[in-house]
């Protein structure tokens, strides 16, 4: 009976359903907890005002804008570099020691703790290149942090494009680069967008790298330039919850900040899902 294929299949599917239900339960529980505690803090003033009275009053506008700046600048650097690196590795690079070394380096970077990237950014961008604690130094550090994720996701997306697409295009006399640009990349965009989704979520939620490269404890104004310090939602939340002057009084602001951060990530995900579905429908036509 223990080796009955039908019974084993039922047991396996039951365990899979339980595991999926457990994951959904914890996700829903966490979201419900943050929404329940943070919804009361949300208002136009909370989004648009500067923090006041040692962050016990006012809003999160500079932290919100700082996070948006970080997302835009880090993605502007990491996304094209990551996609081009993936194209080279998948379409041009030949198997060998050099390619193997690059692949191993990417794998190692993907598993490196974020605080190590922060220390590297501190040494390279803040100190050596002289950017100082700034939005530029933090954005470049985060770009390096998400680069392996974008490369891996883009590689997987390119691998899924059937070889017949490339062969048919090349057989018509089209150059290799035109084939990649006009045939391969459009087919791979849905998978690449998935990598971008993961990257945006990580940029928005990282604290250690920006703590070491430019995030400010309290800065009730927007950055004047890319060389200015800034506030960011994850570091703002960390400060309020662990090192604030009145942690109990700032509790609603803490949950409100966490809820805004979730809304940003969810909004970016929904936009990316729309783009992915749009390109999938175009490919199916």
For the stretch 167-193, pLDDT in tens is 888 888 888 888 888 888 888 888 888
Domain, as residue range, for 187: 42-284
- Higher model confidence: residue 5 or residue 34? 34
Q: What is the CATH number of the domain that holds 137?
A: 1.10.3720.10
What confidence score (pLDDT) does residue 285 get? 63
> 8-22, 148-162, 233-247: lowest mean pLDDT where?
233-247
Query: Does residue 189 sit within a domain?
Result: yes
Query: Does residue 6 sit within a domain?
Result: no
With a cut of 90, say whether residue 116 has pLDDT above it.
Answer: yes
With a cut of 70, say whether residue 231 has pLDDT above it.
Answer: yes
Average pLDDT over residues 141-164: 90
- Compute CA distances 9 → 5, 23, 36, 258, 274, whole Å: 6, 21, 40, 41, 36
* DSSP tag of 41: G
What confidence score (pLDDT) does residue 82 get? 92
With a cut of 60, say whether residue 121 has pLDDT above it.
Answer: yes
| Residue 1 pLDDT level (bands cut at 50, 70, 90) | very low
Query: Does residue 20 sit within a domain?
Result: no
Query: Does residue 13 sit within a domain?
Result: no
Please report, for the chain, how many H helices and E strands are present, in that order: 12, 2
Q: How many domains does the chain have?
A: 1
What confidence score (pLDDT) does residue 139 get? 94
User: Residue 50 in contact with residue 61, Cβ under 8 Å?
Assistant: yes
What confidence score (pLDDT) does residue 29 get? 94
Query: Does residue 12 sit within a domain?
Result: no
């Amino acid at each position: 009976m223990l080796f009955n294929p039908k019974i084993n299949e039922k047991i396996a599917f039951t365990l899979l359903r339980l595991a999926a239900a457990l994951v959904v339960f914890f996700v829903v529980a966490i979201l419900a907890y943050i929404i329940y505690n943070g919804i009361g803090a949300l208002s136009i003033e909370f989004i648009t005002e500067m923090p006041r009275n040692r962050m016990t009053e006012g809003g999160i506008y500079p932290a919100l804008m700082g996070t948006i700046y970080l997302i835009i600048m880090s993605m502007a650097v990491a996304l094209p570099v990551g996609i081009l690196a993936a194209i080279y590795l998948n379409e041009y690079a030949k198997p060998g020691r050099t390619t193997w070394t690059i692949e191993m380096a990417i794998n190692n970077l993907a598993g490196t703790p974020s605080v190590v990237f922060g220390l590297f950014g501190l040494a390279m961008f803040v100190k050596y290149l002289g950017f100082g604690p700034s939005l530029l130094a933090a954005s470049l550090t985060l770009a390096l942090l998400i680069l392996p994720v974008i490369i891996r996701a883009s590689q997987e997306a390119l691998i899924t494009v059937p070889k017949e697409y490339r062969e048919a295009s090349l057989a018509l006399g089209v150059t290799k680069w035109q084939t990649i640009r006009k045939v391969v990349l459009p087919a791979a965009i849905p998978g690449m967008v998935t990598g971008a989704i993961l990257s945006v979520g990580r940029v928005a939620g990282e604290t250690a790298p920006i703590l070491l490269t430019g995030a400010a404890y309290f800065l009730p104004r927007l950055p004047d330039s890319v060389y200015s310090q800034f506030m960011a939602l994850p570091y703002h939340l960390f400060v309020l919850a662990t090192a604030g002057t009145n942690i109990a009084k700032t509790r609603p602001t803490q949950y409100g900040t966490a809820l805004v951060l979730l809304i940003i990530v969810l909004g970016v995900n929904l936009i990316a899902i729309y783009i992915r579905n749009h390109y999938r429908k175009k490919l199916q036509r």
